[in-house]
Structure 1
Amino acid sequence: MLDFWSINNIAFEVIGYPMSYIEFIGTILYLWATWLVAKQKMLNWFVGIVSSVLYMVLFFQIRLYSDMLEQLYFIIVSVYGWWRWSTPLKDTGKVLRIKYSERHKIIFVAAITLGVAFALGGLMSRVHLLVPVLFPEKASFPFLDALTTIMSFTAMWLMALKRLESWFYWIVVDGVGVWLYYVKGVKFVALLYVILLFLAVYGFRCWLRGGEYEGKH
């Protein structure tokens, strides 16, 4: 059973690339969850949780520690998003509707995101020295990895609140992710991010044109 979680447990090869079971299943579930959220389907939260568990194990093995912690956050916010999307608001008695945040909130959230990303990058660049037992090797691309991680944190939280600007964060994260994972040799994950980039654009268009969209205010 433990062999399943190893990146060395190969399911098949794609053009000479060894595909592990954990990478393949996590990728398929991640794509499915993204399509489901673009369509505002509640099932996206459950599928996303399972995918995050698989990726958390994968990222630990390839030393992308910020991404590993990101998956734990995704699981927590997915539980919250599942509840938030299905629970009527107390003031209106209706479920969440898609909308932009106010402009000053968008700017504030973006500034906080960049500041926290820089701080996390500094920490992750030294985490192998601070906690060598848990992180025996130096992190790869700590600042870039931290930036995409914190932007993903922000995007996930905004998505749980059905904020339309969440898709802009995903578009940036997915674009950077294509390059980062290709360089790390996780080529199927890099391909995943190419597809996710298109899905992010698609999701934005779906939410923008959705019948529940309230527009800017």
Structure 2
Amino acid sequence: MNDPITFLGFPTTLLELLSFVLSVATVLLNIRRNHWAWLFAIVSSAAYGIVFFRSRLYGDAGLQGVFILASIWGWSEWLRGSDKDNAAGAQAGAPAVSRLSARGWAWSLAGWAIGFALLSNFLGVYTDTDVPRIDAFLTAGSLLGTALTAKKKIENWHTWIVVDVLYVGLYVYKGLHLTAFLYAVFVVMALVGLRAWRAAATEPAVAA
């Protein structure tokens, strides 16, 4: 799985390619608000954890383990939300979405900043990563994005747009060119997701 191959003109490995495909499937299902997105997220996180560890992106590697736990929680949240929608007469599979309040924005940004500070210090002191600050910043942002996705907040897409744009540069620097391309695709998909969830916030939940 770690033998070098070429895909779409990018040098990669079979494991990175598998992670690529699973990640795209995850975002597509998230856009449609389909709870099976979390299953794909769990598998893709496990695969990418190995890829990132081999590239000395320890913050991202450790993040994948957190993603797996967060995905289990998110899956539960979406299923519980779908049950509530069902009770109100909507069909399961596409939980309702909402927006952050001003207070929610403040807590989210504060959490991102605190997470960055703690992770940056940890990575700089206890690992041999050569990119502790950007790794920490994007790891903290990804955790926030996952939490907002699980709570079905539209602002998860704003978070992912910022994170994904910066990840493109980081992965090019680390030589993970296929993953850099993937995150460029994620930027476009996040814009699509933002538009779709904005529309969904003013409409009843519908089947995915």
TM-score by length of 1: 0.84
Which of 157, 169, 174 aligns to 1:184? It is: 174
**Matching of residue 18 in structure 1 with residue 11 in structure 2:** yes
Counterparts of residues 24-103 of structure 1 (less than 5 Å): 24-88=17-81, 96-103=95-102
Runs of 4+ in 1 over 3 A off after TM superposition: 11-15, 88-96, 211-214
Name the CA distance, whole Å, in 2 between partners of 1:193 and 1:162. 21
Name the CA distance, whole Å, in 1 between partners of 2:83 and 2:14. 44
Q: Which runs of 5+ in 2 are unaligned?
A: none
TM-superposed CA distance for 1:149, in Å, is: 0.5
Matched residue, 1:139 = 129
Q: Which runs of 5+ in 1 are unaligned?
A: 129-137
Name the CA shift for 1:13/1:157 in 2 (closer, same or farther; >3 Å).
closer
Greater helix share, 1 or 2? 2
Matched residue, 1:150 = 140
**Matching of residue 202 in structure 1 with residue 192 in structure 2:** yes
Matched residue, 2:123 = 124
Of all paired residues, the percent bearing the same amino acid is: 26
TM-superposed CA distance for 1:11, in Å, is: 3.9
Instruction: Tell me the amino acid that sits aligned with residue 84 of structure 1.
Output: E
Matched residue, 1:133 = none
CA contact (8 A) 2:98 2:201 kept: no
Name the CA distance, whole Å, in 2 between partners of 1:75 and 1:20. 22
Matched residue, 2:105 = 106
Name the CA shift for 1:69/1:204 in 2 (closer, same or farther; >3 Å).
same
CA contact (8 A) 2:161 2:187 kept: yes
3-state DSSP class of the match of 1:176?
Answer: helix
TM-score by length of 2: 0.88
